[in-house]
Structure formats: structure tokens, C-alpha cells
Amino acid sequence: MNLKTNFLTIAFLTLICQLSYTQVIEKEKIPIDHSYKPLTINLSADGSKYLRFIIWNQMWASVTQNNPGTMGIDGMSKKTTADFGIRRARILAVAEVSPRFLILAHFGINNQTFANGGAPAGGATGNAGNLTVGVNPQTGLGSATGTSAKKPQLFFHDIWTEYKITDWLYAGAGLHYWNGISRFSSHSTLNFMAIDAPIFNWPNIELTDQFARQLGIYTKGTLGKISYRFALNKPFAVGSGGSFDTATQRPIATNTLTDNWATQGYVAFQFLDKENDKLPYFVGSYLGTKTVFNLGAGWYHHAGSTSSKLMDGSIQTHDTKLFGVDAFLDIPINKASGTAITSYAVLYSYDFGPNYLRNIGIMNVGFGPGTTQNGNGNLQPTIGTGTIFYTLHGFLLPSSLLKDKGRLQPFGALTHKNFEFFDDSNWQYDLGMNYYINGHQAKITFQYSQRPLFENFKKSGSAGEFILQTHIFL
């Protein structure tokens, strides 16, 4: 099946399920109560002492137009791949036994597909373990490269403790998410407006951080209209150093081992409503429940964290220096109709050293080397030395459109990347729709994303991907 046929099949099945559910409800006259009450255990009569749990799952059905040269898991050429996977399955617990103390633990799994995302060898039984690679030069057939998909290992995303010093100053320590650079660098995964973050908002993802978190100490608070967060972190030590590319006669920086500390921070001026900063997770869309306009700026600096080589083989080290400025607007348009707009724009200036580049593909199930500089599957140039501009806009349609059956919010994003590694810069886009069954607590999101393809350091074409997500959090 081709890209369109695969997606239409998935969309049709989802629609049938939704319509069947609606018909049963209407036929049986079953009253629907969508009201949301947090999963909280009160430890005091007034609720000031509590233990709260948040549980959420995000499931993806996708149809991907693979990068040229991609192989399937059977070693055969694969132009299009349809897949179903777990993008996120998380549990978060936060507790306060005093207004001066807070403790948080957040754990779960991410990115489990039919072919990858599992533990090494998938546990003791029932899994082939690592999938070997090899292509027979005579037949062109072989097996694909990957790791096991079964039995993914739970790990901590956040685990930190916090102390209140004054009403405007808090301090904490642990594996934390009080990130610098931008609003999206501390984005909540509970209330994205697009189907997901663009990933380059987490520029150290899964290298010197643990799924966008680092070990360290932080301070945060709100002083008047100014919201701030600063951190001193000990990044995870990864990397074997860079190289010199003889073909292009230039140094290529990559991560290198170091025990240097890193600093980061983000400051925002809140012109209208103030946002809650008890937890670090910024809201993606308030759906007209608040009137917010913020301007912010931030940084991340890690000395001696990358290296490259000169022509003579001598090693030069580089600092990671990352900066961002952004604006966030979320306002109701018409209270009677419930319409609202959400807009975000950010400009990143990233310096990891000369010609640093990372290709990343979310839920990628492509195999083989690929024949472009993207690599296989849905890999694309995502993070690197250079500049990135990203803007995302959504419009919450009138509540009368679906009456009491939910809300619709079309959205679109535009990205411009200008990486030092390539001769060409590029634009790419995402278009989608949120169907809110019960706000962000229960929603279905559809998105089409376009990505560029690069050959010989120039843009040579593009490829697309359809994603349908079910999202529920309690």
C-alpha cells in the first residue's frame, strides 16, 4: 500500500470507532460526565498536604514516506512504512507535606515500536535481541539493523526535591527539567498544541541529558511580572570527540568526554495573566482559559563539551553555547463562542563547534544506511551549529461547531533551519488538527509533517509523514 492508502485505512478505523461510540451513547441515552478531578490523596483536612498522581499515554499510528534507500526489517527496499507505537507512557507523582517542601518523581517509557525501543535482548526469553545487519551484494537482500522492541525499561525522567526560601525564591536539586534557552525547552508533554515538540527545542536530547533532563541544582520563582529559572548542572559524560573531513576539508565537531559544569537559564516577562510555576512544565495551549502574553530569553553554556580535529590531526575543543528568544500569546477571542488563538515563535542560535550536526527521527523504524545525508526512515537534520526559527499557530473553533461532542483546533507550524554543515538552508512545515473530547485530558490529534532531504550538502527534495495520536491523561 502507498502512503495515502495506509493513512486512510488508519483514519477510517479510528473514525468508525468514534462514530460507533457516539451512536451507542445516543441510543442508550447514557449521560456523559467529562468533568476532571485530579488524582489526589489529601494528607490534611484542608488539602494543603497532598500526594498527587498524573498518568498519561500517547499512542501513535503513522504512515511514513521513507528517505531514499531505506530498508525494511526484512532487508528489502521500503518506500513507505505504516506503524503503530507508544510515543509516551508516563506516571508522575508530586507531594507536599509542607508549603516549604516538595518532592517529585516522574518515570515511564518512550518510543516503543514493533522493531525497537525495548530492553537489550528483550529480557530473558521471547526476543531475538539485537537484529544483525548484512546485505548480500549479489542479491541485495539481508537483515536490518536494530535493537529489540520488547520489554522497554522504565526509567526516571525527573526526580528532584525543592525548598521554599521566600515567596519569590525556590531552590531544588536532582534530575530536573528547569531548563534554559526557551519556553519549549521546558514544554509539558501533557498539552502540546502540535502533535509533539519539534525536538530541536531540546538540543542536548539523549546525549548530555537524560531525556531533556540533567543532574544539578536550580532556583526558580516569580518576581512581579518576571518569571525566572536558573540552573547549574553536571551534564552526562558522552562522546568520543570530533574529526576532520578530508572530502570537504573541514573540521567536524561532536561531543567529547568532559566533567565540566553547565549553566542555563530562562527569563520571561508576563504582560498579562501570570502562569503557575509550581512545576517546570510550560503549557502549550490554554484553550481560551487564560489571557497570556510573554516575551522570554534564555541560554545554555557547557565549556569544552565538543571537539574537532584540524588537518594535521591536532584536537581543538569547543564550548556549547546556545541562545534563544521567544514570544507566546494565548488569548480568548470571543467568550460567547469560546474561540481562542495560540501563537508561539522562537529564534535559536546554536553553537556546538564547527559543522556540528545531528540527524534525529522520532519513532523511526527505517533500516539500512539510506542514500541521502538524512539516513534511513524519517531521519532528518534536526540539531546543529547554526540558527533555527520556529513558529506555531492554532485557532480554537467555536464550541457550537460540534455542540457537546468536543472542540476542534486546527494548527500549523513553520520552521527555518540554517545549519553550518549544509550549503542550503531550508523551510519545512507541519499541519494538523486537534479534536478535544475533553480538553487536554482526552484528545485525538492528526498531523502531516514535511521534512527536507539533503544530498551533497544541498537540499534535493522532501518527504512526508502522517501521524494520528490518541492522548489521555488523568
Give 341-369 pLDDT, tens digit per residue: 999 999 999 999 999 999 999 999 999 99
Tell me what pLDDT residue 163 has.
97
CA 262: distance to chain centroid? 22
> Does residue 76 have a pLDDT over 50?
yes
Q: C-alpha cell of 248?
A: 570537504
> Does residue 37 have a pLDDT over 90?
no
When computed from its CA atoms, the radius of gyration of the chain, rounded to whole angstroms, is: 23
Considering Cα of 359, then 365, then 366, then 369, what sign does the dihedral take? positive
Domains in the chain with CATH codes? 34-116+157-473 (2.40.160.10), 118-151 (no CATH)
Nearest to 367 by CA among 116, 150, 85: 116
> Does residue 104 have a pLDDT over 90?
yes
> Does residue 445 have a pLDDT over 60?
yes
Task: Enumerate the H helices of 383-431 as residue ranges.
Answer: none
Q: What is the pTM of this model?
A: 0.91
Residue 296: burial class (beta carbons within 10 Å; 0-12, 13-18, 19+) = buried
Dist. CA 161–CA 146, nearest whole Å: 37
pLDDT band per the 50, 70, 90 thresholds, residue 144? very low
pLDDT band per the 50, 70, 90 thresholds, residue 86? very high
pLDDT band per the 50, 70, 90 thresholds, residue 4? low
Tell me what pLDDT residue 456 has.
97
Q: C-alpha cell of 145?
A: 539493523
Dist. CA 291–CA 453, nearest whole Å: 39
> Does residue 386 have a pLDDT over 70?
yes
pLDDT band per the 50, 70, 90 thresholds, residue 15? low
Query: By the 8 A CB rule, do 435 and 445 touch?
Result: yes
Nearest to 184 by CA among 113, 102, 285: 285
Reduced to 3 states (helix: H, G, I; strand: E, B; else coil), residue 9 is: helix
pLDDT band per the 50, 70, 90 thresholds, residue 3? low
Dist. CA 174–CA 159, nearest whole Å: 6
Lowest model confidence (mean pLDDT) among 33-42, 94-103, 233-242:
33-42
Tell me what pLDDT residue 271 has.
98
Q: What is the DSSP letter of 253?
A: -
Dist. CA 151–CA 19, nearest whole Å: 34
Tell me what pLDDT residue 17 has.
54
Query: By the 8 A CB rule, do 373 and 461 touch?
Result: no
Dist. CA 395–CA 334, nearest whole Å: 12
Average pLDDT over residues 224-241: 97
Average pLDDT over residues 397-419: 95
Dist. CA 446–CA 394, nearest whole Å: 13
> Does residue 20 have a pLDDT over 70?
no
Lowest model confidence (mean pLDDT) among 11-20, 131-140, 205-214:
131-140
> Does residue 75 have a pLDDT over 60?
yes
Tell me what pLDDT residue 143 has.
43
Q: C-alpha cell of 258?
A: 568532559
Reduced to 3 states (helix: H, G, I; strand: E, B; else coil), residue 14 is: helix
Average pLDDT over residues 50-64: 98
> Does residue 212 have a pLDDT over 90?
yes
Provide the mean pLDDT of the chain. 91
pLDDT band per the 50, 70, 90 thresholds, residue 121? low
